[in-house]
Amino acid sequence: MTRPCNDIQTQYLNVLAGELIKEIKEVGEHKVIDLNEEKANRNSFEKAIDKRNPRLVILHGHGSIDCVWGQNEIILDKNNIQKMNSRIIYALVCDSLHELGRFAIENGGAEAYIGYESHYMITLEPTRSTTPLKDKSFRPFRDLHVMLVLLLISGFSVSEAVEKTKKRMNEFIREYGIRGIRDQYGDAPLIRFALYWNKFFMSAYGNLDAKF
């Protein structure tokens, strides 16, 4: 699991990933390779893949159509995509599914790649920048990410995990609708739009029956 932290968006994802790691460790069935902040560099990433041979690779941070970034440097692109051979990748980054995801399956030997074909959107409360887990605007995005990861490590297939996560997205979209939750700060329409956006652009390539 990579979790860089170099701006407000990655800070939120970093804290979220840290809590997710704690939850996984408490169950005690799986070991987590935690590439946190400065450890989320290309060299450490490649060494961890070679040495530990993980089945599931979870990437947090920024991305583009042809690469995924770690802490201020690209850690995954077409030049090292072969290291994803026989693995399931879940990339919580912008755009990477569009091109890199396809390349990972067709040329890198990856078994499955879950990600987003456009920008990944979240909503944040400016006053909660130091306490992301208390940010109510971020809550649905946090819950959805945790849900998908836990579904994957619990033995659900890629297609089942994505389908169940999108079903939960629909529930959140209804919750943040006109007659949904009390909207004290007027954020509900933006949250609802971001959820719609992520749902539309979230997909997976490869063997959708693949399991962890």
Give the residue ranges of DSSP H helices in 122-207: 139-153, 158-175, 188-201
pLDDT at position 114: 98
pLDDT tens digit sequence for 72-121: 999 999 999 999 999 999 999 999 998 999 999 999 999 999 999 999 99
Q: Using 50, 70 and 90 to split pLDDT, how confident is the model at 62?
A: very high
Q: Using 50, 70 and 90 to split pLDDT, how confident is the model at 28?
A: confident
pLDDT tens digit sequence for 123-147: 998 788 788 889 999 999 999 999 9
Contact 188, 139 (CB under 8 A): no
Mean pLDDT value across residues 57-68: 97
How far apart are the C-alpha atoms of 154 and 160, rounded to whole Å?
11
CB burial of residue 130 (10 Å; 0-12, 13-18, 19+): exposed
Give the residue from 80, 100, 24, 26 showing the smallest Cα distance to 56: 24
Number of other CB atoms surrounding residue 118 within 10 Å? 15
pLDDT at position 178: 66
Q: Which pTM value belongs to this model?
A: 0.94
